[in-house]
Amino acid sequence: MDLVFIAQDCINGVLMGLIYGLVALGLTLIFGVLKVINFAHGSFLMVGMYVAYWAVTLSGLHPYLALVIIVPAMFLFGYWIQNLLIRPIFIAEKNVREPITVIIVTTGLWYVLDNLALLVFGPDYRALAPNPLKGQMLEFGEIFISVPKLYGAIATLATAGGLYLFLQRTRLGRAVRATSLDREAASLMGIGQWKIFNIAFGIGTAVAGISGAVLTPFYNVYPTVGIPFDIKSFVIVVLGGLGSIWGALVGGVIVGLIESVGPNFMASTWTEGIVYALFLLVLFVKPSGLFGQKQDW
């Protein structure tokens, strides 16, 4: 076996893993604040990819420039979904800390969004056009690096860093953290729970939008495109620790590496088994994940 191949697979694994981490970032952020898993997160990614696809198709912008349209559009989408659809359930079950009905509603939303996409856009696989990043490679001797994936990995680090600074350094970020730790105490400090929930949902959805812009240059868009990413995101956030930004990135890289390096040593169907085995192992051994804080949610 050639070391160059392994190095190549490692690079691919890290790049793709970071992009998985980006998708998981939105999920982990929403969980961190609302304490409920958003089962529609994959569908939000799908919406983000279609928004990116159409923003680029209609405006002719570079997909990364189109972020100026995608991010606010997706933020507002998530903000209003939470405000109109999820908040009423929290209010109806205000004595339940993690209302199971929210999970049911987000699952319903997943089906509705995926089927709406099928209805409106049809089942076609759509490739981004114009696509300035199409098939671009950087060459280092025998090693090739996919430019769109490299850009995606950089976008992931920038997004995670930006989120971290927002949460640590700003008034609103501090309010988001306070709400995630103790909603009631936060409201006693003048921090409105529902506004923070809306904003957190908006940000998580905007991150799904960024993921959409990152993925479309090398990944086709279709109505159920969110599902494989959705499942990976759950695994990743559990690996890294629910609610942890850096945990999502590390979890993503672990999954990316197993997926890309693993097939050198075994049939590639086995790699998925390893990912899930690791998922279960973490749940058994350290349920708070690699970076999760051991505390009462």
Partner 1 sequence: MALLDIENVNVAYGDVQVLFDLNISVHEGEVVSIIGGNGAGKSTMLKTISALMQSSSGSIMFDGKPMHNLPPEEVVNHGLVHVPEGRRLFSLMSVRDNLLAGAHNKKAYAVREKTLEEVYTMFPRLEERQDQAAMTLSGGEQQMVAIGRGLMACPKLLMLDEPSLGLAPILIAEIFRTIRAIADKGLTVMLVEQDVKHSLSLSDRGYVLEHGRAAMEGAANDLLDSPYIREAYLGI
Binding residues vs partner 1 (CB under 8 A):
171, 174-175, 177-178, 181-182, 184-193, 293, 295
Cβ 4 to partner 1 shortest distance, Å: 44
Q: How far is CA 200 from the centre of its chain?
A: 13
Minimum CB separation from partner 1 for residue 261, in Å?
34
Shortest distance, position 189 Cβ to partner 1, whole Å: 5
Of residues 233 and 244, the one with the C-beta less far from partner 1: 244
Cis peptide, bond prior to residue 99, ω within 30 of zero: no
Shortest Å, Cβ 292 to partner 1: 11
For residue 78, which of 173, 241, 218, 212 has the smallest C-alpha distance? 212
Rank residues 132 and 192 by Cβ distance to partner 1 and give the closer one.
192
Q: Which amino acid is at 131?
A: N
Nearer CB in complex with partner 1: 34/47:
34
| Nearest distance in Å: CB 75, partner 1 | 21
Question: Which residue's CB is nearer to partner 1, number 176 or number 225?
Answer: 176
* Side-chain-side CA neighbours of residue 294 (13 Å): 4
Closest distance between partner 1 and the C-beta of residue 30, in Å?
18
Q: Which is nearer to partner 1, 35 or 62 (CB)?
A: 35
Listed residue (93, 66, 81, 80) closest to 209, CA to CA:
66
DSSP symbols for 117-185: HHHHH-S--B--SS-TTTT-EEEETTEEEEHHHHHHHHHHHHHHHHHHHHHHHSHHHHHHHHHHH-HHH
- Nearer Cβ to partner 1 (139/184): 184
Distances (CA, A) of 250 to 136, 145, 173, 195, 257: 26, 20, 22, 30, 11
Residue with token string 């190095």: 7
